Amino acid sequence: MRKWFGILLGIMTAMGGFLDAGTIVTAGEAGARFSFGLIWVVLLATIAVILLIEMIGRFTAISQKTYAEAIRENFGFRFYLVILCSEIIASTLLLSAEIGGVAVALSLLTGISWHWLSPLSALLIWLIGWRASFSFIENAPSLLGLTMLSFIAGIIHLGGPPPELFPTLWRPDIPEGDFAEYLYLAAASFGATISPYLLYFYSSGAREERWTRHSLTLNRVTAIIGMSFGCTGTLALIILGAMTLKPLHLSSGTMGELGLTIAKAFGPWGAILYATTLFATCLSAALEVNLAVSYNIAQGFGWEWGENKKPVKVARFKLALMSILLTAFIIGSVGIDPQQLALIGSTVIALLLPISLSPFLILMNNREYLKNYTNGLALNIVIIIILAVAWVIAVSSLPLIILSGGG
């Protein structure tokens, strides 16, 4: 039974990949501006990410290679560097937003400006990433993040969505002149859900947990339960945004104002629940993003790596961890609001997503790695569809940023 606690890896990944700064912002904005009109994007992206996570877990368990290692071996160092650079750019922006999200959460709890708490947030992330074991990072924030269930409780407490919101599922409530903003937020929501760092973190986590072919059932259950858990929280936040923020016309609120979604249901305790959830999810995501990029660098360059190893044994891996975090902190220190950083980061992820996913089709059909566990025709078609959608979103991202004014 103990091995089934590995499902917490999926919950951790779901918290970082779904309910992070990017998704909290895009989900709150989606509900506040377009009611249920962007739920279809979250559902589509969730199905895609469940399949991608299952595939990368299967690949790692069978081949005993991480995603980054396989890219370097199969496509050469130059191609690996292209993917690495795109990952560093997108993930560093998102990590800046996560640091800001942790600071905003602490600000809501203490009343101190988030600008002053940002260095403390970065220090906390560094201390945990530097000293904690992988199991601690996997379990502790995940359990605290279960407070996200308060979003669902808030919907129930408010009596559920009013009937007039349901038609916006198939007929989005798009004000005149806001179609570009709608498409921009759809692209950002897709990027916030299908983040490439998910693949690097999950693949490396499977190696940290020593997964083998006997872990395939666990991998499948983890992918489905973990991603669905994150999707449920995202959908709940969209619904709450439509129920509470849209009537107040808070379509461009800050992370703090998004707390009104749950505060309306539970008053001051709701605000505390929101702050706790924001803290846990952004902390989880920050640790996950920071580790994912560091894993990617260390594995691609052939360095010793591992969160369970002493820092002196994996000095270059830990140096990469610290360097990425410091860069993200400096970016966040220029004064950009964490909410805006989250939107920018999610859009950049959407823009660069095809580059990160492009090796998938070849790797998942490589019998040298997967033996008898290669993809069938159906999954290959799914990968092609995901890549096609990713390319469409990537090509349209820059024009949408210009037309919408960045959301």
Full DSSP string of 56-79: HHHHHHHH---HHHHHHHHHHHHH
**Whole-number Cα distances in Å, 320 to 124, 130, 190, 315:** 17, 11, 28, 9
User: Taking Cα atoms as reference points, which of 231, 71, 248 lies closest to residue 152?
Assistant: 231
We report the CATH number of the domain holding residue 271 as: 1.20.1740.10
DSSP state of 172: -
pTM: 0.90
In this predicted structure, what is the pLDDT of residue 8? 62
Query: By three-state DSSP, how is residue 15 classified?
Result: helix
In this predicted structure, what is the pLDDT of residue 292? 94
What is the spatial distance between Cα 79 and Cα 72, in angstroms, rounded to a whole number? 8
In this predicted structure, what is the pLDDT of residue 4? 56
What is the spatial distance between Cα 148 and Cα 144, in angstroms, rounded to a whole number? 9
- Summarised one tens digit per residue, pLDDT across range 27-49 is 888 998 998 999 999 999 999 99
Q: How many domains does the chain have?
A: 1
Are 227 and 52 spatial neighbours (Cβ–Cβ below 8 Å)? no
- Summarised one tens digit per residue, pLDDT across range 50-65 is 999 999 999 999 999 9
Question: 286: which 2 tokens?
Answer: 């920050």
DSSP state of 9: H
In this predicted structure, what is the pLDDT of residue 398? 74
| 316 Cβ contact partners less than 8 Å away, ≥ 6 residues apart | 298, 301, 303, 304
Each residue's pLDDT expressed in tens, for the chain with a length of 407 residues: 555 555 665 565 555 556 778 888 888 889 989 989 999 999 999 999 999 999 999 999 999 999 999 999 999 999 999 999 999 999 999 999 999 999 999 999 998 999 999 999 999 999 998 887 777 776 666 666 677 778 888 899 888 899 999 999 888 888 887 888 899 889 888 888 888 888 999 899 889 888 899 889 888 888 888 888 888 889 999 999 899 888 877 765 677 777 777 877 788 888 888 888 889 889 988 998 999 999 999 999 999 998 888 888 999 999 999 999 999 999 998 878 888 888 888 888 888 889 889 898 899 999 999 999 999 999 999 999 999 998 988 888 777 777 666 55
Range of the domain at 376: 2-404
